[in-house]
Amino acid sequence: MVAMYGVPVVVLKEGTSRTYGREALRNNIIAAKALAEILKTSLGPKGLDKMLVDSFGDITVTNDGATIVKEMEVQHPAAKLLVETAKAVDAEVGDGTTTAVVLAGELLAKAETLLDQNIHPTIIIEGYKKAAKKAVEILDEIAEKVDISGLDEVKEGKADIKDKKELYDALYRVAYTTLSSKYMATPDIMDYLIDIAIRAVIQVTEKKNGKYIVRLGNIKIEKKKGASLADTKLVYGIVLDKEVVHPGMPRLVRNAKIALIDAPLEVEKPDITAKINITSPEQIRMFLEEETRLLKDMVDKIASVGANVVICQKGIDDVAQHFLAKKGILAVRRVKRSDMEKLERATGGRIVTSIRDLTENDLGYAELVEERKVGNDKMIFIEGCKNPAAVTILIRGANDMIVDDAERSFQDALHALRNLIRDPKIVAGGGAPEIEIAMKLRKFAETIGGKEQLAVKAFADALEEIVTVLAQTAGLDPLDTVMELRKLHRDGKKNAGIDVMNGKVVDDMAAINVIDPVIVKKQVILAATEAATAILKVDDIIAASPTKKEKKGKGGEESKFEFD
């Protein structure tokens, strides 16, 4: 800055760059649009995959929006805002990440046109906020309620989920829509995998204060390369990627009473530094005998409460292993804390932090604990738990890429099912709600005075761009498709959308099993609006210069290290 009389005043640190006004706004919009363009082609069931290669050379091939933005090393601050938005949508509803980023990009692209007409960013932001609020109201109007009261009977064991046809169909269609764009969407195994996802979600659903809560953290997904996706199975219990610690221990225990111990089965070294002076071999023998006695006492205590399986979060000494094997107790060591907690919920046991405090009431129960060979590795299966509150999906596949993609697909399906149970309302998929909302928003815009109505109409146009992208990935003509859909919606067919798999427009997407939970659509609209308005509010970018550190290298030469 230059003050009066031409005297320079230094406000910012040397090397700091500053972009402000319309230039800053346009730079941000360009960066956000660029990220949206990358994700555009991944939208929909026929969306194309991205191959992401990290700095270590590891390859990820996926069309999952959340994975793409997480793996990309985005540098621009505005684009990073969109990445954070995608992560937030993924954390909240587990689906709709690609749509959220693409919609935010389109909102900014439409805003750019309005900025060229000298409309102030504040007016655009207000218009977008009103449009988003109205869009959520329209979603509630066009949504259909799903009756999930049948879950009570299923949870009580009075009926199988397939007996509740209406509920099962709604859950099936939601999972089908989510998985239809994934690698595992092959007709021969699709039904089987969806059934696994539905049963897993129902198993971890609880009713509290009249509302259903789905705890997806209680579903453990274990991957093991080998066999095929058709060999994936649901285990009503927990599968541990571990093996029995001692060859003398049983490999199979029926009617297992399981001790869950968060304490080492070994003599720990004291925290304080101590020296022991030994003057004779007799003293060494006594020292070792005392150590053995302590370990034997620990094992005797475990055996005395009736435990025949020990799952230990910490280490098990070789001597303790020997005594456990002699007692016929199966033991597993160094199990993760998260797995210990799932075991607690599955078996009904309680994690104890002191072996002295272990009682019979702390033991969990399972009909079967067995070490089995899965592929080239050994795994521990803890099955037949009484009404387990935690389950495991064991995914099999021909290679790492397939099992990793299957895991991501299962995560999306589980989240979609949870969303439906959490808020039992559905809308048709295939771009149907976007066209319906866009049409109603244009009518709503006419009721708003001033320039804000232009922002509301721009919001409607941005929503229609989602349908345009869907048409493009399906190989259809985007303009003809949107015009045809507008006509059908004007005729009152609110579920008319694009059947991407068959490349045509249909009157009722719900009839061909393409539906979405309303909660996902709401989250996408709100998140995309918030991201777009946050970027539109920025009119000044002040970037500090990278830190430089000088250091003397070998031979007295100066070496420079730069840190981002």
**Catalytic site residues?**
64, 97-98, 412
Two tokens at 414?
Answer: 């589980």
Tokens 């005297």 sit on residue = 7
Q: Annotate 144-175 with b (16+ C-beta within 10 A) or e (fewer).
A: eebebebbeebbeeeeebeebeebbebbbbbb
Helix axes 432-445, 452-473, angle to 10 degrees: 160
Distance CA 63, CA 43 (A): 8
| Angle between helices 121-142 and 432-445 in degrees, nearest 10 | 120
Q: Cβ-count burial of 118 within 10 angstroms (0-12 exposed, 13-18 middle, 19+ buried)?
A: exposed
Reported as half-sphere exposure (CB side, CA atoms, 13 A), residue 418 has a value of 25
Q: How far apart are CA 311 and CA 12, in angstroms?
A: 59
Q: Which among 443, 445, 463, 450 is positioned nearest to 110, based on CA atoms?
A: 463
Element (H, E) at 548: strand 547-552
d(CA 378, CA 374) in angstroms, rounded, equals 6
User: How many whole angstroms separate alpha carbon 508 and alpha carbon 494?
Assistant: 8
Q: What is the total residue count of the chain? A: 564
Give the other-Cβ count within 10 Å of 352's Cβ.
Answer: 17
Residue given tokens 């009839």 in the structure block = 511
Cβ-proximal residues to 56 (8 Å cutoff; 6+ apart), any chain: none
Helices 77-93 & 22-40 angle (0-180, nearest 10) = 50
